[in-house]
Structure 1
Amino acid sequence: MILNIARKELKSLFASPMGWIILALLMMAFGSYYLTGVNNYFEVMSGAIRPAERVGVTIFVGQTVYSIASFIMLFAVPLLTMRLISEERRSQTLPFLFSAPISLTEIVLGKFVGLIVFLSILVFYIFLMLTTLNIWADIDFGYLIANSIGLWLLVASFSALGIYFSSLTQQPIIAAILSFISLFALMIMERFFASDPNHWFSYLSLMKHFQSFSRGLIDSSDLMYFFLFISTFLTLTIRRLDADRLRG
């Protein structure tokens, strides 16, 4: 049943112009930054005469693309999650979902999986685009895989939080604004504790846990953080819908 709901959500994304527009705009943005990174690499490296000053093309271009991708997704994901549940509430179709022979967990996970499949297209697109560097240079595939996993976990976390805020209101725009503000705060939270990087509050920062992936490292503690973040907000969404169902 989860796959059926996910398939329905994925079809609705591709059936609407908004889904195609967001997909096209993001692909165009990532592609332009990829070309910019390649051009900058040749310009900078042509002036770096000493070998110690040279940087691998994978890191140079990859940092450009993945860093901007994490920032752009901060704006794109709230636009995609804002309607997932709030639209059901506004159109008065939520009671029909409650009365259907499926559990709330299946509903939430189905919507989440459908959106993640859509966003995974973008993450895979970035990975394939950067692997084209291998045509004329030896690239670090481990670095690209680690960054792709980190970006995927990051957008999955964005989606989980966005779905939760979508369950709180029947206005999609309000859900998008609340999601963006919360995600932005979680992204820059580490900067508020720059003087004390070991402060426990700084560990809540999404960017802090994404940084190890951006360096080409896969840390089990960061994997656990993203897993707990995603599962927490999906559980809160299920609890919220369960409270709505009990109230009738």
Structure 2
Amino acid sequence: MIRTLAARELRSLFALPSTWLMLGVLQFLLAWNFLSRLDAWLQLQPQLAQLANPPGVTITVAAPLLNMLGLLLMLLTPLFTMRAFAEERRNQTLALLLSSPVSARQLVLGKFLGLLTFLMLLVAAELAMVGTLGIGTSLDKGLLAANLLGLLLLTMSFVAVGLYISMLTAQPIVAAIGGLAVLLGLWVIDVSATDEGAIWHELSPVAHFQKLNIGLFDTADITFFLLFTAAFLQLSVCRIRALRRG
């Protein structure tokens, strides 16, 4: 049942013209950034060749590009998750789902996996772009693996937040604004915190992703993402159960 719900969510996303528009704009921005960074790296080759241990293309081109992708996902994920439950409520189809034999956990996980699969296809497209660098030079596979793991965990956390906010309203636009406000709020608080040991740094998914972006594996960061995602998914499950009781 979870697989069926995920496939349904995935099909509904690809059926929307706005989805293709946003994907087109995102691909343009990332491709432009990729080519700009690659051109700058090529122009610096004479100077880099004089260094004993020059930075590779993975650090100078790939990692910054994937970091930019993480920030763009923070902005775009609420636009993709806003319809997950809000649209169902507005179209009066959520009542049908709530009256079906599907459990609250299955319903949330189905929506979650559908959205996550869609966004990870986008991440895979960007990794394929980065992979073209391997044709002419060697890539740091460990750093790329860290970034892939980081983007997966980061996307999971963003989707979980977006799903819960979408549960709270019948207006997709309100859900998008609410999800964006939560994610941007956590990021702004992290950026504005001047004390390195401040608790605010530990509450931002982007801050934990940036450690993986530079190749730093830390079980504390992975644990944060898993707990953060599980907490918001559980909030969505509790919300559905409350609607069924009401």
1:199-246, Cα deviation, whole Å (9 max, x unpaired): 233211222211211111221111110000110001001111211111
Q: Secondary structure at the match of 1:51?
A: coil
1:15-50, Cα deviation, whole Å (9 max, x unpaired): 121222222322222222111111111123334463
Query: Is it true that 1:202 corresponds to 2:201 in the alignment?
Result: yes
For 2:233, the equivalent position in structure 1 comes to 234
Matched-pair contact (CA < 8 Å) for 1:188–1:207: no
Report how far residue 7 of structure 1 moved.
0.4
Report how far residue 124 of structure 1 moved.
1.1
1:86-135, Cα deviation, whole Å (9 max, x unpaired): 00111111110011111011111100100000001111112121111111
Question: For residues 78-227 of structure 1, what are the structure 2 equivalents within 5 Å?
Answer: 78-194=78-194, 196-227=195-226
Amino acid at match of 2:84: L
Matches of 1:100 and 1:7, distance apart in 2: 18
Matched-pair contact (CA < 8 Å) for 1:33–1:64: no
Q: Secondary structure at the match of 1:55?
A: coil
Matches of 2:173 and 2:186, distance apart in 1: 20
Question: For residues 49-60 of structure 1, what are the structure 2 equivalents within 5 Å?
Answer: 50-52=50-52, 54-60=54-60
Matches of 2:232 and 2:175, distance apart in 1: 14
Amino acid at match of 1:210: F
Of 162-171 and 185-194, more deviation after overlay is shown by 185-194
Report how far residue 183 of structure 1 moved.
0.2
1:123-169, Cα deviation, whole Å (9 max, x unpaired): 11121211111111111011111111101211211111011000000
Number of residue pairs matched by the alignment: 246
Report how far residue 56 of structure 1 moved.
0.9
Matched-pair contact (CA < 8 Å) for 1:190–1:197: no
Amino acid at match of 1:109: L
Amino acid at match of 1:198: G
TM value normalised by structure 2: 0.95
For 2:63, the equivalent position in structure 1 comes to 63
Matches of 1:91 and 1:212, distance apart in 2: 42
Matches of 1:201 and 1:55, distance apart in 2: 31
Amino acid at match of 1:240: R
Matches of 1:193 and 1:65, distance apart in 2: 25
Question: For residues 11-90 of structure 1, what are the structure 2 equivalents within 5 Å?
Answer: 11-48=11-48, 50-52=50-52, 54-90=54-90
Matched-pair contact (CA < 8 Å) for 2:86–2:169: yes
Matches of 1:9 and 1:185, distance apart in 2: 27
Matches of 1:11 and 1:201, distance apart in 2: 38
1:160-196, Cα deviation, whole Å (9 max, x unpaired): 10110000000111111111111011123222322x2
Superposition CA RMSD, Å: 1.5
Matched-pair contact (CA < 8 Å) for 1:5–1:110: yes
Matches of 1:223 and 1:7, distance apart in 2: 27
Report how far residue 53 of structure 1 moved.
7.5
